[in-house]
């Protein structure tokens, strides 16, 4: 996604639509003043959108060049472009403060509020601050992207380390690789602390007590209301996570023994098959249920059918076009980074980009031929199809209804990667398609990704909010991180962490300054979208068996929701597709209900919790 445009996100707004009566010439001094103010504000918004659109194109290209070829030169160019962009955004936000949005028509008011709260890392307006902040944020990104560590005499990168974490079943090897990757992040700590100081100073200039309050102002409700909303949604799904945690710990104990993974208490983080213990599907071989198994391995099928990275992406595109959406432009295939290029340092973290706010959409991935990246491709393409859907909106509306929408779109589509879909595209045969007796196994595979992720998602920004509001000081960064991970996820590091550790920095979204609440919201909303789509399609079976592949009627309503972009408060946009104005976790509970029954049966007699 364009790093400049994604800093614009949804915000609180209660301004009503302008009246529908025919316009009349002002008849009093007060009306004249008000009309003049509206005209001035409208002209300001028009100018701001034009300047931001031009800057976005320039900055997006600089960031793309830097993330796909990290050098001193591209680092410097990205830092310079970022400084110019931040300065422009901050100046416009400060200039907008002279307008009283309560006196403005709907579109003018909404766009001004977006200008004020949509900067992810705002710089103070004093001389040199934007330049300093941009150098720091670029250095953080570069340090992460170039990260390597010595393992058995060889310098390995995150891709290689992650493969070991996913596939090894040697607890000593897992611990060594887990620790090794976290040697990359301590050099970031001082930069990160300085960045927090600068960004909070910038947020204060814009009228926010701290940057976390500014971020939480982007959801069409007050920050404290949004925090309560997160807790409400987490409360709906937490019982399912606790059952999954209990079951997984029992299976890990059986596999590794008491000395590695005790029967009670938290789970050792490096045993869960993911560098950050955020998704656990890689240990399915350890925790698979004692029920009818799934008759195929998707990774094996992709390899057997001769899939390469391009075919993976073509298949993902094919799902979207089956819904009646237009194919991706030829420039997507010419300009995307689909595999890791030879001889270059790159940021491999998968992302989707919109470089001109029109048709120059791309993805950046170091794609591997496995089931995880097959799903990731669908997720990233969801961003691209969303970006293209709202391309005709005014510049400040070219974004998701809120950031959770953008993340939910592709994952909602990926929920339709069912056995039926895999048969339709030739990845499995009719004989291999599992029956209803394999539902527990299918749901377990999905839960290890989707349910395991939820508490991690609220942990990342829970930690960051306390850092941004000053509750957590730099010397407590790491201890606060693990306190929260224990409280929310029930996990612990495999070894005592050193005093200078900065383990949050080992996760891309911390040095990359990507707000993380969006992912929690998206994991709730994707199931909500899925249920609505299946109802629209007339599906009458269990939710986890429903696929909307090839349904153009659903695709039409889906595209209508995407086309709205950020032009309306998100409850209105949500209602377009789901019929409700409220985010709701009940679809998750319905989707996984058969698995919940199984987990409770298996956990009977276990000492669950931590």
Nearest to 598 by CA among 95, 80, 214, 243: 243
| Three-class DSSP category at 232 | helix
CA–CA separation, 505 vs 528, rounded Å? 32
Q: Can you tell me which residue has the tokens 């293209």?
A: 388
Q: Does 7 have pLDDT greater than 90? A: no
Question: Are 573 and 229 spatial neighbours (Cβ–Cβ below 8 Å)?
Answer: no
CA–CA separation, 374 vs 372, rounded Å? 5
CA–CA separation, 518 vs 12, rounded Å? 16
Nearest to 409 by CA among 530, 566, 583: 530
Tell me the C-alpha to C-alpha distance, in Å, between residue 270 and each of 151, 153, 179, 553: 16, 21, 9, 45
Angle at 105 between CA 102 and CA 111, to 5 degrees: 85
Contacts of 70 (CB under 8 A, 6+ apart): 142, 145, 146, 344, 345, 346, 347
Specify the pairing of strand 148-151 against strand 154-157.
antiparallel
Question: Are 481 and 488 spatial neighbours (Cβ–Cβ below 8 Å)?
Answer: no
Domains of the chain, by residue range, sit at 5-141+190-218
Q: Does 372 have pLDDT greater than 70? A: yes
pLDDT tens-digit readout, 289-341: 999 998 889 999 999 999 999 999 999 999 999 999 999 999 999 999 999 99
Q: Is this structure's pTM higher than 0.85?
A: yes
Kind and range of the H or E element at 229?
helix 223-256
* Per-residue pLDDT at 583: 96
Q: What is the DSSP string of 537-578?
A: TT--S-GGG---TT-HHHHHHHHHHHHTTTSS-HHHHHHHHH
| Three-class DSSP category at 264 | coil
pLDDT tens-digit readout, 517-568: 999 999 999 999 999 999 999 999 999 999 999 999 999 999 999 999 999 9
Just list the catalytic residues: 380, 509
**How does residue 27 score in pLDDT terms, banded at 50, 70 and 90?**
low
Question: Are 437 and 591 spatial neighbours (Cβ–Cβ below 8 Å)?
Answer: no
Buried b (16+ CB within 10 A) or exposed e, 390-415: bbebbbbbbbbbbbbbbbbbbbbbbb
27 versus 454: which is more confidently predicted? 454
- Token duo for residue 189: 């700590």
Residue range 417-440: mean pLDDT, rounded: 93
Nearest to 556 by CA among 322, 323, 317: 323
């Amino acid at each position: 996604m364009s790093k400049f445009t994604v800093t614009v996100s949804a915000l609180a707004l209660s301004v009503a639509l302008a009246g529908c009566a025919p316009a009349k010439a002002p008849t009093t001094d007060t009306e004249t003043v008000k009309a003049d103010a509206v005209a001035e504000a409208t002209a300001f918004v028009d100018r701001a959108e034009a300047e931001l659109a031009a800057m976005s194109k320039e900055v997006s290209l600089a960031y793309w060049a830097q993330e796909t070829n990290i050098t001193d030169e591209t680092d410097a160019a990205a830092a310079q472009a970022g400084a110019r962009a931040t300065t422009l955004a901050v100046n416009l936000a400060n200039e907008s403060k002279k307008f009283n949005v309560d006196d403005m028509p709907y579109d003018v008011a909404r766009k001004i509020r977006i200008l004020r709260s949509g900067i992810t890392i705002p710089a103070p307006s004093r001389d040199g601050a934007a330049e300093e902040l941009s150098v720091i944020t670029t250095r953080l990104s570069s340090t992460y992207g170039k990260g390597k560590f010595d393992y058995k005499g060889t310098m390995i990168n995150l891709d290689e380390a992650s493969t070991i974490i996913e596939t090894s079943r040697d607890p000593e090897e897992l611990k060594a690789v887990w620790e090794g990757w976290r040697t990359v992040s301590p050099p970031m700590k001082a930069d990160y602390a300085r960045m927090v100081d600068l960004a909070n100073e910038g947020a204060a200039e814009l009228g926010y007590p701290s940057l976390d309050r500014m971020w939480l102002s982007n959801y069409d409700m007050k920050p404290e209301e949004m925090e309560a909303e997160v807790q409400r949604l987490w409360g709906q799904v937490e019982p399912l996570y606790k059952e999954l945690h209990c079951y997984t710990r029992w299976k890990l104990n059986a596999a590794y023994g008491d000395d590695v993974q005790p029967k009670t208490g938290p789970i050792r983080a490096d045993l869960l098959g993911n560098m950050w213990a955020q998704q656990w599907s890689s240990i399915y071989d350890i925790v698979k249920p004692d029920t009818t198994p799934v008759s195929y391995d998707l990774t094996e099928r992709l390899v057997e059918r001769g899939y390469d990275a391009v075919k993976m992406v073509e298949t993902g595109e094919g799902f979207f076009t089956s819904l009646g959406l237009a194919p991706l432009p030829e420039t997507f295939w010419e300009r995307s980074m689909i595999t890791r290029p030879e001889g270059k340092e790159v940021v491999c973290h998968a992302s989707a980009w919109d470089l001109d706010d029109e048709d120059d959409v791309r993805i950046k991935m170091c794609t591997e031929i496995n089931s995880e990246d097959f799903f990731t491709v669908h997720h990233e393409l969801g961003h691209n199809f969303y970006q293209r859907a709202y391309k005709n909106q005014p510049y400040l509306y070219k974004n998701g209804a809120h950031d959770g929408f953008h993340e939910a779109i592709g994952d909602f589509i990926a929920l339709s990667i069912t056995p039926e879909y895999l048969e339709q595209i030739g990845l499995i045969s009719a004989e291999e398609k599992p029956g209803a007796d394999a539902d527990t196994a299918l749901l377990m595979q999905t839960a290890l990704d989707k349910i395991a992720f939820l508490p991690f998602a609220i942990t990342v920004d829970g930690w960051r909010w306390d850092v941004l509001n000053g509750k957590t000081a730099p010397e407590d960064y790491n201890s606060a991180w693990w306190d929260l991970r224990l409280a929310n996820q029930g996990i612990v590091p495999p070894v005592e962490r050193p005093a200078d550790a900065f383990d949050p920095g080992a996760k891309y979204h911390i040095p990359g300054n990507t707000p993380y609440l969006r992912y929690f919201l998206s994991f709730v909303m994707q199931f909500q979208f899925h249920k609505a789509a299946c109802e629209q399609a007339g599906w009458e079976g269990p939710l986890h068996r429903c696929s909307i592949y090839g349904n153009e009627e659903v695709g039409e309503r889906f595209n209508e929701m995407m086309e709205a972009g950020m032009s309306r408060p998100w409850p209105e946009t949500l209602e377009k597709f789901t019929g409700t104005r409220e985010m709701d976790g009940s679809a998750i509970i319905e989707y996984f209900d058969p698995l919940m029954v199984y987990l409770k049966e298996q956990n009977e007699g276990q000492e669950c919790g931590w």
